[in-house]
Amino acid sequence: SAAEKGGHDYFMLKEIEEQPEALSNTLRGHFADGGVVLDEQRISEQDLRDINKVFVVACGTAYHSGLLAKYAIEHWCRIPVEVELASEFRYRDPVLGRDTLVVAISQSGETADTLEAVRHARTQHARVLAISNTNGSQIPRESDAVLYTHAGPEIGVAATKTFLAQIAANYLVGLALAQARGTKYTDELEHEFAELAAMPDAVRSVLETVPQVRELATRMCDAKAVLFLGRHVGYPVALEGALKLKELAYMHAEGFAAGELKHGPIALIEDGLPVVVQMPSLKGHSQLHAKLLSNIREIQARGARTIVIAEEGDEAVRPFADELIEIPAVPTLLQPLVSTVPLQVLAAEIARHRGYDVDKPRNLAKSVTVE
């Protein structure tokens, strides 16, 4: 019924609007007495200190959250991190051992590819930490440590609130590791946590763009294809924006690292092609901001229709944005928590206008339990 869907035509929009709560519920209880608290922890302090390599394994949207984990964990912990599609991981015989931490991210906790990656890691004596939204599911049960996201049940097949919760959980894991290894101390952790804790409000404020994005969607329904560009943490966001559009609207969509544009994708630009660009934080990443500006100028000159997601107050980008979606300025690593939201709405609304079932896209399952 409409009431169950929070007054919306479909669950996904309700779940998009629940993201501030999904985030605050995930953060709540995972930080106490100046430190990060996991839900289950069977890895000794000494073993945690000895970790010298991290692999993140996941599928689909969870994989995109994993790509973001790399930026945070390498920055905070100074440990090399590789992010790998769970379905590729075990078949290439990765180098694993007691000093390797494998972080397995799975909303359902039942995805077969991710579960098999976990099993393989354990046979090689790696330590496994699971991030899941489902209490007592198989992946957490077979792991050495667990952090549960508390996004609540997600009905829409395409992940939304669980994605934001996974990003927060990844960052909590990064902080827990930094703490165990002594690269971050209590006051620094408290500072990082306070920044995370402010994100539910930032997401609430980005939800104010929903009417603008819904209107934009009505004008994008007939596009042949849509490209998404971003750099640094904006790159996984571009991949996620494209995946959402494929899943829901059955449109050809690709996400690219903006720096790669000149190495190929720019050949795709033609008159009227919508290109969604995620601008880096102005203060946090001024160098990358300048590079993206020149990318936008280039694609606009070649006829692309630019849809730009930029921080409030980013005046420099205005002349190059055919459509400007403003998001609050937040610390660089946290930007995906706000910049993903308009892309979720865009995909859902384009799908709705094209007459598709937003909550149940064709050929897809919420949890895929076969390899």
Among 19, 25, 26, 108, which residue sits at the site for ligand G6P (rule: CB under 6 A)?
108
- In the complex, what is the shortest distance from the CB of residue 364 to ligand G6P, in angstroms, rounded to a whole number? 5
Dump the DSSP string for 201-218: HHHHHHGGGHHHHHHHHH
- In the complex, what is the shortest distance from the CB of residue 301 to ligand G6P, in angstroms, rounded to a whole number? 36
Tokens of 259: 């720096």
- In the complex, what is the shortest distance from the CB of residue 369 to ligand G6P, in angstroms, rounded to a whole number? 10
366 is catalytic: yes
Contact call for residue 106 and ligand G6P (CB under 6 A): yes
For ligand G6P, the closer CB: 342 or 361: 361
- In the complex, what is the shortest distance from the CB of residue 198 to ligand G6P, in angstroms, rounded to a whole number? 26
Residue 18 CB: number of other CB atoms within 10 A? 20
Residue of 56, 166, 27 whose CA lies nearest to 107? 166
Contact call for residue 251 and ligand G6P (CB under 6 A): no
Tokens of 24: 């605050």
Looking only at residues 148 through 167 of this chain, which bind ligand G6P when binding is defined by CB under 6 A? 157-159
Which one of the spans 258-266, 282-290, 320-328, 362-370 is the region binding ligand G6P (CB under 6 A)? 362-370
Residue 172 to residues 54, 103, 138, 175, 307, Cα–Cα distance (Å) = 15, 12, 22, 5, 32
Residue of 184, 179, 180 whose CA lies nearest to 49? 180
Among 7, 97, 364, 369, which residue sits at the site for ligand G6P (rule: CB under 6 A)?
364
The neighbouring-strand residues paired with 277 are 229, 308
The neighbouring-strand residues paired with 35 are 32
| Helical (H) or strand (E) element with 327 | strand 323-327
Amino acid, res. 221: C
For ligand G6P, the closer CB: 332 or 367: 367
Contact call for residue 59 and ligand G6P (CB under 6 A): yes
Which residues sit at the interface with ligand G6P, rule CB under 6 A? Answer: 59-62, 106-108, 111, 114, 157-159, 364, 366-368
Residues with catalytic annotation? 366
